[in-house]
Amino acid sequence: MAASSSTEDLLQELLNVELELQDSLLDKQEKLYEKQSELKAVLESYQGLEKPDNDGAAPQAENWSGSFEWDDEADDIRFNIFGIPGYRANQQEIINAIMSRRDVLVIMAAGGGKSLCYQLPAVIRHGIALVVSPLLSLIQDQEDEKYIYKALEKGEGDLKVLYVTPEKVSKSKRFVSKLEKCHHAGRLSLIAIDEAHCCSQWGHDFRPDYKNLGILKTQFPDVPLVALTATATKKVQLDLMAMLNIPKCIKFVSTVNRPNLFYMVREKSSVGKVVIDDIAEFIQSSYTNNESGIVYCFSRKECEQVAKELRERGVSADHYHADMDVNVREKVHMRWSSSKLQVIVGTVAFGMGINKPDVFKMVLYLILLTCMVLLYFTLFVIHHSLGKSMETYYQESGRAGRDGLPSECLLYFRPADVPRQSSMVFYENSGLQNLYDMVRYCQSKKECRRSAFFRHFAEPLQDCNGMCDNCAFSCEVKEIDASGHARAVVSLLQEIQEKDQRATMLQLVDKLKVKNKEVGFELKKDELEQLVIQLILHRVLKEEFSHTAYATNAYVTIGPLAKHVLHEKKIITLEVTSGERSSTGITKSSKRSRYSGLEVKLDNLRKELSSIHGGIFPHSILSTQQISMVCSQKPETTEQLEKIIGKLKTQKYGDRILEVIGKHEFDEEQGHQDSSSDKERQTSVNKSAKRSRNKKVVVIESSENED
Ligand SMILES: Nc1ncnc2c1ncn2[C@@H]1O[C@H](COP(=O)(O)OP(=O)(O)OP(=O)(O)O)[C@@H](O)[C@H]1O
Ligand SMILES: [Mg+2]
DSSP letters spanning 247-287: TT-EEEE-----TTEEEEEEEPPSSHHHHHHHHHHHHHHH-
- Domain shared by 149 and 267, yes or no: no
Quick check: is 27 in a domain? no
- Domain shared by 214 and 231, yes or no: yes
Closest CA to 329 of 289, 372, 273, 295: 372
**Residue of 402, 620, 621 to test ligand 1 pocket, by largest number of atoms within 8 Å of CB:** 402
Q: Which residues contact 428 (CB under 8 A, 6 or more apart)?
A: 434
CB 556 within 8 A of CB 533: no
134 CA from centroid of ligand 2 (Å) = 11
Where among 628, 649, 664 does a domain terminate?
A: 664
Query: So what's the pLDDT on residue 543?
Result: 96
Where among 219, 237, 253 does a domain terminate?
A: 253
pLDDT (average), residues 480-485: 90
- Domain shared by 522 and 631, yes or no: no
- Domain shared by 415 and 538, yes or no: no
- Under the banding of pLDDT at 50, 70 and 90, the label for residue 648 is confident
Q: Which range of residues forms the domain containing residue 344?
A: 261-474
- Domain shared by 632 and 660, yes or no: yes
Query: So what's the pLDDT on residue 82?
Result: 84
Q: Confirm or reject: Cβ of 687 under 6 Å from ligand 1.
A: no
Check whether 396 has a pLDDT greater than 70.
yes
Asked whether the ipTM of the predicted complex exceeds the cut of 0.90, the reply is yes
- Domain shared by 357 and 439, yes or no: yes
Query: So what's the pLDDT on residue 314?
Result: 96
- Domain shared by 317 and 425, yes or no: yes
Quick check: is 707 in a domain? no
Query: Closest residue (by CA) to atom 11 of ligand 1?
Result: 113
- Closest ligand to C-alpha of residue 194 is 2
254 CA from centroid of ligand 1 (Å) = 14
11 CA from centroid of ligand 2 (Å) = 53
Check whether 674 has a pLDDT greater than 60.
no
- Domain shared by 390 and 336, yes or no: yes
**Residue of 116, 368, 622 to test ligand 1 pocket, by largest number of atoms within 8 Å of CB:** 116
Give the tens place of pLDDT for each residue, 250-265. Answer: 999 999 899 999 999 9
- The 10 Å Cβ neighbour count of residue 413 is 21
Query: So what's the pLDDT on residue 500?
Result: 93
- Domain shared by 76 and 187, yes or no: yes
Total tally of structural domains belonging to the chain: 4
CATH number at residue 76: 3.40.50.300
Measured distance CA(412)–CA(383) in Å, rounded: 6
Dihedral through CA 64, CA 192, CA 228, CA 60, nearest 10?
-30
Measured distance CA(197)–CA(114) in Å, rounded: 14
Check whether 679 has a pLDDT greater than 90.
no
- Domain shared by 518 and 446, yes or no: no
Quick check: is 698 in a domain? no
CATH number at residue 539: 1.10.10.10
Interhelix angle 624-633/638-645, nearest 10 degrees: 140
133 CA from centroid of ligand 2 (Å) = 9
Where among 253, 270, 289 does a domain terminate?
A: 253
Check whether 529 has a pLDDT greater than 90.
yes
Check whether 23 has a pLDDT greater than 80.
no
Give the tens place of pLDDT for each residue, 199-231. Answer: 776 666 677 788 889 999 999 999 999 999 988
- Domain shared by 301 and 340, yes or no: yes
Q: Confirm or reject: Cβ of 356 under 6 Å from ligand 1.
A: no
Helix H segments across 516-646?
525-537, 562-566, 588-592, 598-612, 618-621, 624-633, 638-645
Query: So what's the pLDDT on residue 695?
Result: 28
- Domain shared by 228 and 287, yes or no: no
Query: So what's the pLDDT on residue 74?
Result: 96
Measured distance CA(501)–CA(495) in Å, rounded: 9
Query: Closest residue (by CA) to atom 29 of ligand 1?
Result: 376
Quick check: is 555 in a domain? yes
Residue 687 burial (C-beta neighbours within 10 Å; 0-12, 13-18, 19+): middle
* Average pLDDT of the chain to the nearest whole number: 80
Check whether 584 has a pLDDT greater than 80.
no
Answer with the residue of higher pLDDT: 689 or 410: 410
Give the tens place of pLDDT for each residue, 368-395. Answer: 222 233 445 688 999 999 999 998 899 8
The lowest-confidence range among 190-194, 428-432, 563-567 is 428-432
- Closest ligand to C-alpha of residue 396 is 1
Any idea what DSSP says for residue 199? G
Query: What DSSP element (H or E) covers 59?
Result: none
The lowest-confidence range among 15-29, 172-186, 216-230 is 15-29
Supply the pTM of this predicted model.
0.73
Contacts 24+ apart (CB under 8 A), 532-535: 532/415, 532/489, 532/505, 532/508, 532/556, 533/415, 533/418, 533/439, 533/443, 533/505, 534/443, 534/482, 534/572, 534/574, 535/486, 535/489, 535/490, 535/559, 535/565, 535/572
